Structure formats: C-alpha cells, structure tokens
Amino acid sequence: MWHKIIEVSEWFGNMADRYRLVKDFNHAGKYAFIQGIAPTLLEAKVTKGEFMYKHAFSKWMGGGFRIKALSGRPLERAELIEIGKVVLDNEELTRKMISLGWDTLEVHANKGYNGAKWALKDHANIGGFIS
C-alpha cells in the first residue's frame, strides 16, 4: 500500500517539473522579446503530441511541447525550423524534456497553417556517447 503513495508523489513531482519547464520557457521567451533579443514572442504549451514519436517515458495525452511564434504573419518552413533548432541543438534541454515525458517538439506561427514537428528522441544522442 505504501508504495502507491510514493508513486503518486513521484507523479505530482513530475507534473510540477513539467509545469515549471513550460513556465520558465515562456518567461524567457517573453523577456527576450521585450529586450529585443528575439524578433518574435515565443510561447510554449503542452499538446497531445505525435503518436509515431512516442517512447517509453511519453505522457499518454501530453507528449507534445508546442512552441507558438506570435509573428503576426505565416512563417516560412525555414523560419519554423530555425526556431525548433534552438531547442533541438540543446542536448541537455532535449534530454530533460524526454525525461519529463515529452516526445514531440512542435513549432507553429499564430498565423497560417504551416508547422513543423520533430521526435525529441532523434535529437538526444540516446545510446551514444555523451559529449
């Protein structure tokens, strides 16, 4: 019976870490935009994710980490990829996201229908040597 309490405690701790990562990302995105470091405001939220990108630690209905660029115009595919690379090129962040249950990185603009998706596990150097 007591092991169930530990499982529940770990689940809530994991959820708090996920919430904190999204909150910290949004705070940093807002700060970079206000300071003029970033040309567009970025905002993250949790989505369902892509079924094909699931891994052993994926959250059932919350495996997607969506970044929305408040650009005021449809973004070109190259611009969406550039935003995604900011996350994907940071191996530590990518590994943290995987450990917290995310499996999909999505990037969309607030205008238009274009978007880009990546499987996080393909960008975390899993099974290789840590550099």
Per domain, the residue ranges of the chain are 2-123
**Chunked in runs of 10, what are the mean pLDDT values of the chain (131 residues)?**
48 76 96 93 95 88 93 90 94 93 94 91 73 49
Instruction: Give pLDDT, residue 59.
Output: 86
- Identify whether the C-beta of residue 65 lies closer than 8 Å to the C-beta of residue 46: yes
Instruction: Give pLDDT, residue 128.
Output: 57
End-to-end CA distance of the chain: 42
How far is Cα 18 from Cα 10, in angstroms, rounded to an integer?
12
Instruction: Give pLDDT, residue 6.
Output: 47
Instruction: Give pLDDT, residue 2.
Output: 47
Q: Say what the pTM is.
A: 0.83
For residue 118, what are the β-bridge partners?
Answer: 105
Instruction: Give pLDDT, residue 10.
Output: 53
* CB-based contacts of 50-54 (< 8 A; 24+ apart in sequence): 50/103, 50/104, 50/117, 50/119, 52/119, 53/103, 53/104, 53/117, 53/118, 53/119, 53/120, 53/121, 54/103
